[in-house]
Amino acid sequence: MRKFFISFILGFFFFSIGLAQPVNEVLYKKTSAMVPMRDGVKLFTVMLIPINAKVPVPILIERTPYGADIPIPDDTIIALSPRFSFYNMAKEGYVFVFQDIRGKYKSEGNMEIHQPLIHETQKGAIDESTDTYDAVDWLVKNVPYNNGKAGIVGISYPGWLALVGAVDPHPALKASSEQACMSDLFLGDDFHHNGAFRLSYGMEYTYEVEHDKTTDSDFPFPQFDLYDWYRNLGSLKNVNEKYFHGTIPTWNHFVKHPNYDSFWQKNSPLNYVKYPQIPQLHVGGYYDQEDLNGPQLMYAQMEKKDTFNRNHIMLGPWNHGGWARGKGDSLGKISFESNTGEYFQTLQKKWFDYYLKGIGDGNFEEAYCFQTGSNQWKTYKTWPPKEAEIKKLYAGPNHTASFKKPQSNIGDIKYISDPAKPVPYRPQPIEATYGPGSRWRTWHVDDQRFVYSRPDVVSFMMDSLTEDLTVTGTIMAHLFASTKGSDADWVVKLIDVYPNIDQKNFLMSGYMLPVAMEVFRGRFYKSFSKPEALVPGKPEEFVINLHQINHSFKKGHRIMIQVQSSWFPVIDMNPQKFVPNIFEAKESDYIKAEETIYFNAKYPTYVELPVMR
C-alpha cells in the first residue's frame, strides 16, 4: 500500500519553463483546482494538459493519499522525459490528472485508511466511489479539449482507489487498471496474512499515514537495526501504552478487532466489489512485499460474473509497483533477462488507447503472466490455466521431499519455537521499512540460506530434477503439525534450490530462491471469525494458500519445502499460549513451545503443485 506517488511525479519529470522548446518535445501545462464533491468538500487536483494535441484527448486519473502536487507554479510548461511512467502515452496525447483524496495533503475533509463503499446502502453517503464520480464529472466538463472519456489507474493505495472508483462509475469513466491494490486486510494483504498480524509494516505504515494528515511521517526509531527494538517491544499492548497513546485510528481498529469480525468483513472489497462494471486490468507481482494477494483475489472475484469479457490480469516478476519504474529486468540477485517493465507499459498503453481512444482491435488475452525460471512471457485463455495437473510434493524422512506419499506410520520432526529468539524474515539488519538503506523491497527473493541452518527451521528437499518442471497456478500447502503450546504460527515456503555449482551463473550456486511463501495463525484453523485454542500435542491439518506463481524449476535444480513458526518482525511473535486478544497479551503469556511437523501415512505434509503437462 506504500506510496509511489512522489517518486512517480517528481522523479520522472524534466522541468523546462517556457515555450521555447524543440517541436518534438512532449510539452504539457500544469494547472490545479479545488474540485467540489457533492457534500461540499473540495479536493486538490493537479492537471497536466498537452500543449500540442491536434485532436481532443482522454483523461487518465490517479487518485492518491500521498500528495498530488507538483511543486511548480500553475500554467508552467514542462517537458516530460522518458522516465515518466506514462511517457509512451503522453507522446500521443492524454490529460493526466492527480488528485489528493479527501483528508490528505491539500484536500479538505477527513481520511481513514481503506474505508468500505457505503453509498448504495446509506442514502446521501459519500465514499471513494462517489468522490471518483464527482471528480470525473467535473473534469469532463472543465478540462479543455478532452474527448469526454476518462480512465483511472493506480498502484498500491491508488490501485485500490482505481478498483473502487470503477464501482458505479460515471458514464465517462470507460476503463480502469488497479495495480497492486490491497484486498482483504485480514486474510491476505498489508496488515494481516491469514490472521497473523504484520507488525513492522502495520505499525510503521499506519503511523506514516495517520500521524499527520498534511504529510507522511516516519516513526522516530532510536536505532538502525530494528530486530532487537521490536523484540524488546514485548507485547503488542505496549505500542499504545508507550508510543501511539490511542492517536492512530487504524491501530486502534487492530486492537479492537483481533478476529475476522464484521468490521473486517465489511471493509473487504470482496464484500462491495462484485463484478467489472467497466473493463478492468488487474496488475500484480509475484514478489510483491505489500499487496501480493490483491490483484489475484480481485481478478478471481470479478471473473465469476464477467459476462462481457471485461476482466483481465497481468502478473509479472515484480515487487510492489516494480513494473512502473525502471526496466524490471531483475530483482535483487535474480535476473529476468528482459525488459519486463517495457512489456507492461506497452500493454497498458494498448489497454487505455483502445477504451479511451478507440485505437486497436480490443483483442486482449485473458491473462498475461511472466514465467520465472524460463524467463518468458506467457498468455492464457483462463487463469489459472485449466490444463495444469495437480501433483503433491510430500515431506519425507531425513529432510527429503518427493512426489511419493509416505507409507510408514512413523515420521515427524520437532523443534523449539522461542519468542525470545524469533526467526527473522530477512537477514539482519532489519532496517525501518522505508528507512535509509532498507532492503524491504527485495526481501521476497532473499537467499533463504540465512535461516536454513537454524534449529527452529526445518527443510525437506527433493533430488535434483532430471528435466524442467513448470508450475503454473495456485500453490496450496497442507501442513500436518502440532504444538505443545495452545497456539502457533506456521510459515511455509516453496523454494527453488540452485545447483551446488551453477554453470549459468557461478555466484548463484546453491542459492535458495523462495518462489512462494505464506504464514498461518494456528488459532484460526477452524474459523477466522471464531478462533480456538489448539489442543497441545494434537496433530491438525493446516491448509495454507501460498498464492499464484508461474515458475519453471530448471533441470539440475531442487525443490524444497521449508517450515518455521516465526517470521519476525514482519509478523508479530505469537505468544504460543492462547489468549482471547493477542493485542492485549501479557508478557507472561509468551512461552517457548515444542512444535512437531508430521510426514507419515496418517499425517502426510505436502504442497500441491499445479504442474503444466
Nearest to 547 by CA among 196, 61, 194: 194
Q: CB-based burial of residue 275 (10 Å sphere; 0-12 exposed, 13-18 middle, 19+ buried)?
A: middle
DSSP secondary structure, 386-447, as one string: TTEEEEEEEE-GGGBEESSPP--S--EEEEEE-TTSPPBSSSSP---TTSTT--GGGGGG--
Assigned domain for 218 exists:
no
User: What's the confidence (pLDDT) of residue 202?
Assistant: 96
My answer on whether 405 and 471 are in the same domain is: yes
Assigned domain for 129 exists:
yes
User: What's the confidence (pLDDT) of residue 14?
Assistant: 41
User: What's the confidence (pLDDT) of residue 111?
Assistant: 87
My answer on whether 433 and 343 are in the same domain is: no
Q: What is the mean pLDDT of each run of 10 residues along the chain (613 residues)?
A: 48 41 77 98 98 94 96 96 92 97 95 89 95 98 97 97 98 98 93 97 94 90 98 97 96 98 95 96 98 97 96 98 93 97 97 98 97 98 97 98 97 98 98 95 98 98 98 98 98 98 95 98 98 98 98 98 98 98 97 98 98 93
My answer on whether 568 and 451 are in the same domain is: yes
Rounded distance between C-alpha atoms, residue 409 and residue 602, angstroms? 6
Going 479 to 481 to 483 to 487, the CA torsion angle's sign is: positive
My answer on whether 369 and 392 are in the same domain is: no
My answer on whether 460 and 565 are in the same domain is: yes
User: What's the confidence (pLDDT) of residue 13?
Assistant: 46
| HEC sequence for 59-85 | EEEEEECCCCCCCCCCCEEEEECCCCC
Rounded distance between C-alpha atoms, residue 169 and residue 164, angstroms? 9
Assigned domain for 240 exists:
no
Cα-flanking dihedrals φ and ψ of residue 564, to 5°? -150, 175
Domain boundary among the residues 353, 380, 407 is at 380
The C-alpha R_g of the chain, in whole angstroms, comes to 25
Rounded distance between C-alpha atoms, residue 88 and residue 553, angstroms? 35
- Give whole-number Cα distances, 239 to 55, 223, 232, in Å: 56, 17, 12
My answer on whether 16 and 131 are in the same domain is: yes
Q: Do 163 and 181 touch, CB atoms closer than 8 A?
A: yes
Assigned domain for 248 exists:
no
My answer on whether 395 and 544 are in the same domain is: yes
User: What's the confidence (pLDDT) of residue 18?
Assistant: 40
Number of separate domains in the chain: 2
Domain boundary among the residues 380, 399, 430 is at 380
Cα-flanking dihedrals φ and ψ of residue 180, to 5°? 55, 40
Nearest to 112 by CA among 185, 209, 32, 200: 209
My answer on whether 330 and 364 are in the same domain is: yes
Q: Do 389 and 610 touch, CB atoms closer than 8 A?
A: yes
User: What's the confidence (pLDDT) of residue 1?
Assistant: 58
My answer on whether 76 and 154 are in the same domain is: yes
Domain of 420 in residue numbering reads as: 388-612
Note the Cα 368 to chain centre separation in Å: 18
Cα-flanking dihedrals φ and ψ of residue 241, to 5°? -65, -35
